[in-house]
Amino acid sequence: MNVSSIIFELCVIIVGAALLGTLFLYAKQPIIIAYIAIGIMVGPSGFALIKDIEHIEQISRIGVVLMLFLIGLNLQPHKLIKLFKKTSLLTFITSLIFGACSFLFALLLSFSVRSAFVLGAAMMFSSTIVSLKLIPTTTLHHKRTGEIMTSVLLLQDMLAILVILFLVGDKGDYAALSFLMLATKFVLMCLLSFWGVRFVIIPLLTKFSVVQEYTFLATLAWCLFWAETAHWIGLSYEMGAFVAGISIASCPIALVIAEHLKPLREFFLILFFFAVGARLNLRLDPKLLIGGVILGIVIVPLKALVFRFSFLKTGEPHELSKELSVRLAQTSEFSLLVALAAISLGLLSDKEAMVIQVATILTFIISTYWVVLKYPTPIAGSSKLRQD
């Protein structure tokens, strides 16, 4: 890899994001949209200052990993299990509804049944990154809104991994066995992680806690170790990072660690949103482009409506149900991963996959505006709604 090329690309991304972000803030617009916009402008479909974004995407994944690690640092295991019991059925049913509606829409666009199934699977979930990026830290870690939203998103992530495994798997007859093996690996990873914290991490942090640099290094190493371990055994990097975070949550210095890692997380998330924009290619068949736009516009209010009804049915208060439904109304970054996996397997053409990408990015934009204009966020244009 050309080091000078990487430095040039990072320079273009960061300087461009800073300049466009400044304009967006003056115009009281969400700064996340500026990151996506700079990706569209300088990426392969724009001025092509950056022609290959594969390595940028890989680097940006670290931001997602750190985000899940930080969430885990602020969640106690017993509370998470209780939330999973409450939200598991809701998550499964709503995902099926979104998938079925998207499947029918794909058939209207003349997709084959197989391609329509892939599009339906891609539209089932909500974005962990967008949802958690737009919620104030105090709400995420200390209020019921953040706790419920986190449990729904994590359950969706697990379902998304199963969907990708199903697409990649050679034989559908072994789907149940694959799920059982996946669950077993997850449980073993949790047990080993908690054992490691108790007998290795806590003694080391207690002994060398006065050296802040070591605390930062050791916890970051723990996060990345379990992220890579999870990937190696067939789970996701994000799931491994989350487990690593929960395992350290009981440590007295967990909150201090979280504060140290936040700036690092923000840097890599800028790269993530840039990569999302850079992947967009508007040179599509007009019918498919319009179809992707319509799907993106329709799926956001549909998700909000279904989530709101579902949360009310589970006994959540009206205002909380309304806020949760709006914050979860977009599609997921896993939509892009499902599309890429389907292309590599020949289940989806490049043009059909671009419908998924157009719809996904549009839901990111619509949902971001809806949340920022209505609820407290760290990036709100109004000082009244700006909370971190």
* Nearby residues of 152 by Cβ (< 8 Å), 6 or more positions away: 87, 90, 91, 126, 324, 328
Strand partners, 386: 377
Residue closest to 282 by CA, chosen among 207, 378, 348, 362: 362
Q: How large is the greatest C-alpha to C-alpha distance in the chain, in angstroms?
A: 64
Residues 20 and 277 sit within 8 Å (Cβ to Cβ): no
Q: What is the pLDDT of residues 205-239, one digit of tens each?
A: 888 877 778 888 888 899 999 999 988 887 778 78
Residue 247: give the domain boundaries.
Answer: 3-374
pLDDT value at position 188?
92
The CA-atom distances, in angstroms, between 110 and each of 103, 116, 185, 291, 299 are 11, 9, 40, 11, 19
* φ, ψ for residue 220, nearest 5 deg: -65, -40
The total of structural domains in the chain comes to 1
Q: How far apart are CA 381 and CA 315, in angstroms?
A: 33
> With a cut of 70, which residues of the chain have pLDDT below it?
1-4, 75-77, 139-142, 164-176, 178-179, 254-255, 282, 284, 380-383, 385, 388
CA distance 11 to 13: 6
d(C-alpha 201, C-alpha 219), whole Å: 8
Residue 382 lies in a domain: no
- Whole-number pLDDT of residue 165: 65
Q: What is the mean pLDDT of the chain?
A: 83
Query: Residue 385: inside a domain, yes or no?
Result: no
Structure tokens at 254: 């967990």
- CATH number of the structural domain spanning residue 217: 1.20.1530.20
Whole-number Å distance between alpha carbons of 351 and 308: 33
Phi and psi at residue 170, to the nearest 5°: -80, -35
Radius of gyration of the CA atoms of the chain, in A: 20
Residue 101 falls inside a structural domain: yes
- Residues 208/195, Cβ–Cβ less than 8 Å: no
What pLDDT score was predicted for residue 107? 92
* HSE of 23, CA atoms in CB hemisphere, 13 A: 10
Domain-embedded: residue 19: yes
Torsions phi, psi for 386 (to 5 deg): -80, 115
Tokens describing residue 91? 């998550």
Q: What are phi and psi of 122, to 5 degrees?
A: -70, -30
Residue 383 lies in a domain: no
Asked whether residue 384 is assigned to any structural domain, the reply reads no
Residue 380 domain-assigned (yes or no):
no
> Could you give the CA distance from residue 35 to residue 274 in angstroms, rounded to a whole number?
5
Please report whether residue 359 resides in a domain: yes
Q: CB atoms < 10 A from the CB of 102, how many?
A: 26
The reported pLDDT for the residue numbered 171 is: 45
